[in-house]
Amino acid sequence: KPSSSINEAPDIFEEVSEGLDRCGHPLLAPIHFAKQITLDEKIGIGGYGCVYRGKWHDEVIAVKIFSSTDEPSWVREVYIYETLGLNHENILRYIAADNIDISNRIERWIATEYHENGSVYDYLTDHTITVPTMIKMMFSIASGLCHLHRPIDAARGKVALAHRDLKTKNILVKKDLTCCIADLGLAVKEKRPNRNTEEKPTVIDIVANHRAGTIRYMSPEILNKTLNDQSFESYKAADIYALGLVFWEILRRCQTTADVNDADPYQLPYENILPNNPSFEQMHGIVYIKKLRPPSSARWTNNSTFCYVFDCCQELWLEDPACRPSSYRVQKQLREQYQSIEINYLNTRIESQIEGAQTV
């Protein structure tokens, strides 16, 4: 009797017609990963393809199908997931990739873990959040970004990466409302100089890609074309600018207290002053020439956590890239903030329990 683990293993081999092996068994070839998946509903449209919810044996997964014109993003994203040791709870979990020939057209797929809450953008448009959730979300995003930015161990292959398209639509919300960073199709990796030299790290573009990030999230130095594209530090700093905008979007949707829903309506950054799909020139005018940034909200001013978070946003989107904090520092500060909030919440809960007990 075969062991149950074999019975339960997905049937990923198919018989190929060409004959038998030397022992007389039919030749087995792996079935295309794509053929093992059934696609259900379309759950997202990105700039360059569609994302579906699908089923792979018993697991619900997400499948991103790239448009035929965006091969570079597929190559880059697969390369990053498969070779760069990106296992981290705040980076979207990769499952597999495939390309299939459909009547002379190649369709390129990437399968990842599925998150039913969708992107941070999807979530914030439909939900408001409380202070502990806000800090938890921000901390998890900073942790994911810190993992991307940090070279850990060249021997194991984790080099430093910069995302280059960080925005609320490219960050997903997990069941416990922590987040994970997705859409690595534009990332670049750091090239470390040999030890014992004074050289600065430079940048490796994984495959040539004419695409740039999303205009709305472009930093002043991208908009005025002074970003040094040979310096890895510059790409990290541009990610940090975008992180500031992401934090601001989250901050607006946070209620001041858990029982009063006074959150600001959802807004994209600069939505109050710029139309949909702003042009590069419009963005340059607002962010670089006029030096505008997303505004504060009246209700934030007498709340210390809100002030703290808005101050943090302002530091992240500073004009001078060299003055912005690193993702590591942001993560560290948010961890402290989260711990103190947790303690406060715990204390108020204990106090109210004591009060409750006294009134009984």
Give residues in contact with ligand ADP (CB under 6 A): 43-44, 46-49, 51, 62, 64, 92, 112-115, 118-119, 122, 169-170, 172, 182-183, 185
Binding site partner of 14, from Mg ion, ligand ADP, none, Cβ cut-off 5-8 A by kind:
none
Compute the least distance from the CB of residue 343 to ligand ADP, in Å. Answer: 33
Q: How far apart are CA 133 and CA 250, in angstroms?
A: 10
Contacted entry of ligand ADP, Mg ion, none for residue 158, CB cut-off 5 to 8 Å set by kind = none
Q: Classify strands 188-191 and 161-162 as parallel, antiparallel or unpaired.
A: antiparallel
The whole-angstrom separation of Cα 85 and Cα 65 is: 23
The nearest distance, CB 50 to ligand ADP, in angstroms, is 7
**Beta carbon nearer to ligand ADP, 46 or 325:** 46
Look at residue 294 and give the partner it binds from ligand ADP, Mg ion, none, a contact being a CB closer than 5 to 8 Å depending on partner kind: none
Q: Which does 30 bind (CB under 5 to 8 A by kind): ligand ADP, Mg ion, none?
A: none
**Which residue has its beta carbon closest to ligand ADP?**
46
Query: Residue 182 binds which entry of ligand ADP, Mg ion, none, with Cβ cut-offs from 5 to 8 Å by kind?
Result: ligand ADP
> Cβ closer to ligand ADP: 64 or 293?
64
Give residue 218's identity as a one-letter amino acid code: M
Residues contributing to the site for Mg ion (CB under 5 A): 46, 170, 183, 185
Dist. CA 95–CA 116, nearest whole Å: 17
Q: Toward ligand ADP, which CB reaches closer, 209 or 228?
A: 209
* Angstrom distance (rounded) from CA 334 to CA 341: 10
- To the query of whether residue 262 is one of the catalytic residues in this protein, the response is no
Residue 64 binding target from Mg ion, ligand ADP, none, CB below 5 to 8 Å by type: ligand ADP
Which of the listed partners (Mg ion, ligand ADP, none) does 51 bind, with a CB threshold of 5 to 8 Å by partner kind? ligand ADP
Output 14 or 122, the one with its CB closest to ligand ADP.
122
Q: Given 165, 176, 239, 311, which residue is catalytic?
A: 165
Residue 185 Cβ, how far from Mg ion at the closest point, in Å? Answer: 4
Nearer to Mg ion, 73 or 337 (CB): 73
Residue 138 tokens, joined: 């921000």
Nearest-angstrom CA–CA distance, 336 and 84: 30
Closest to 309 (Cα-Cα) out of 48, 178, 132: 132
Residue 278's Cβ-count burial label (10 Å; 0-12, 13-18, 19+) is buried
**Residue whose CB is less far from ligand ADP, 182 or 334:** 182
Closer CB to Mg ion, residue 46 or residue 144? 46
Q: Which residues are catalytic?
A: 165
